[in-house]
Amino acid sequence: MDYKKLIPSRKFRLKLLKILDFLPDKLMIKLQYGISTGRSLNIKKPVRFTEKIQWYKLYYRKQLMVKCSDKYDVRDYVASKGYSDILVPLYGVYDRAEDIAFDKLPDQFVLKTTNGSHTNIICEDKSKLDIEATKEKLNQWLNAWEGKVGREWAYHEIKPKIICEKLLEKDQNNDLVDYKFFCFNGKPFSLYVIVERFLSGGLKLGIFDTSFRKLPYKRVDIPALEKDIKKPKNFDRMLEIAKALSSDFPHVRVDLYNIDGEIYFGELTFYNGSGYKGYVPDDFDYILGKEFQLPKKIK
């Protein structure tokens, strides 16, 4: 069941979750998993990847995950691993929208909150930007009640800020391909390749192994990538980066961009799809689950 189709208004969904905020994490996660997947959650002996993500939320709370979930603080972590060269140039970090000196920013940039998902403003031409509306939107995101949405504890401990980064150039197809590496204890296992995010047809997703061979699986909620995609330049270095940035965690998704061989860091994600997104065929959920060796609990 797609709960977003059932309740299309995000504002209403947040209100509903706020009402249910008092529920213990374990109970709420079981409810959300059941509604999203149509299955009962096996939290005592999880086997599926999606089940192990729920276990991860509940029982593995390593404080470093908070730093690495913060879109600003994670930059220090990436630099500490020796990869400051892949960080997207930063123009500023702000506590509130009123602190942004728009007149000092370049003509193109990206504004985003440090704790949010889909809280980005892409400016391709500053002369056409409604600055007051932008400030209002950013402050709404900063002050929005997120509560325990998804019960993804690492995000709940972030003090939200705004960052402004360089707008990465699109390729000759007016696209910016996203490479998302699924890593387990410092070992990249597979990756999503996401294309056509900015095109009218909407994004497409393909699943590949670490030799960049396309696998016969797809996400249930995203149209499959059908066309052939060439292995990016410096792909071996992308694997090296993913290995280094994932070495401190039982599981993390390492997101990178590659623009004609120039690699840029995107983010680190610990709870892919909040653990509620399945695959076709379904056995890929078990394949990923087998790779995800659960650690000792950290509460």
pLDDT digits (tens, 9 = 90+) for 45-63: 999 999 999 999 999 999 9
| Ranges assigned E (strand) in the chain | 90-94, 109-113, 120-123, 162-165, 178-184, 187-195, 204-209, 218-219, 252-259, 262-269, 279-280
Which of 130, 146, 167 is at the close of a domain? 167
Strand partners for 219: 279
The answer to whether residue 228 is domain-embedded is yes
Q: How many domains are there within the chain? A: 2
Residue 191: closest CA among 141, 256, 240:
256
pTM of the entire structure?
Answer: 0.93
Residues 36 and 57 placed together within one structural domain of the fold: yes
Contact 54, 43 (CB under 8 A): yes
Residues 188 and 272 placed together within one structural domain of the fold: yes
| pLDDT classification of 9: cutoffs 50, 70, 90 | low
Residues 107 and 141 placed together within one structural domain of the fold: yes
Written as six digits, the tokens of 276 are: 């509620």
* Mean pLDDT on 264-283: 97
pLDDT at 199: 67
For residue 293, CA distances in Å to 47, 185, 221, 282 come to 10, 8, 26, 19
- What is the Cα–Cα distance from 66 to 294, expressed in whole angstroms? 19
pLDDT at position 34 over 70: yes
Q: Please write the tens of the pLDDT for every residue from 210-252.
A: 999 999 999 999 999 998 999 999 999 999 999 999 999 999 9
Q: Please write the tens of the pLDDT for every residue from 148-162.
A: 778 999 998 899 999
Residue with tokens 């930007």: 129
Residues 94 and 217 placed together within one structural domain of the fold: no
Contact 190, 288 (CB under 8 A): yes
Domain of 48, CATH number, reads 3.30.470
Contact 254, 241 (CB under 8 A): yes
Residues 149 and 275 placed together within one structural domain of the fold: no
The answer to whether residue 281 is domain-embedded is yes
